[in-house]
Amino acid sequence: MNKKKFISLEGDFHGNSYGSLSVTNVGLHELFGPVLDGSLKVTPPNASLDKENLEKDIENKCKELIDLISCEGSETIAAMIIESIQGVSGVRIIPNEYIQKIREITRQNDILLIVDEVTTGIGRLGDIE
Ligand SMILES: Cc1ncc(COP(=O)(O)O)c(C=O)c1O
């Protein structure tokens, strides 16, 4: 089984354990590396751009993802993991349009999409006990 690689977003935080550090791109991994092989990253669009520039940025960032998948081979990539709002990187919102597009791209390429809602899910995913 060759589907072992993970794609994450520049600025994502997914935890401090070994595997999750491999898909964390906030500088922490540099202190603890080298981490697991096959950790790929792409740049998210900049949500603070105006509407027209944001649309172009989303298009470019989707192309970056498509190019990466094609270069690495979709058969080698298990999943893409994202934070829908990046917490540790300073509450950076990932635009909905981009999330919808990467959902399509990952589905077309048989790659799982994991949305890490450890921070954004608070109050929506059940009671806090
Ligand atoms: C977005 C996000 N993902 C993952 C984690 C790590 O969660 P855990 O400590 O349960 O592994 C955190 C922890 O703060 C987080 O903020």
* Residue nearest ligand 1's atom 6 by CA: 15
Q: Are 61 and 43 in contact (CB under 8 A)?
A: yes
In the chain, DSSP finds a helix count (H) and a strand count (E) of 4, 6
Q: Which domains does the chain have, with CATH numbers?
A: 5-116 (3.40.640.10)
Tokens of residue 13, six digits: 């935080």
pLDDT tens-digit map of 72-128: 999 999 999 999 999 999 999 999 999 999 999 999 999 999 999 998 887 777 777
Q: How far apart are CA 32 and CA 14, in angstroms?
A: 14
Round to whole Å and give the CA distance between 15 and 31. 14
Confidence (pTM): 0.92
Distance from Cα 36 to the centre of ligand 1, integer Å: 18
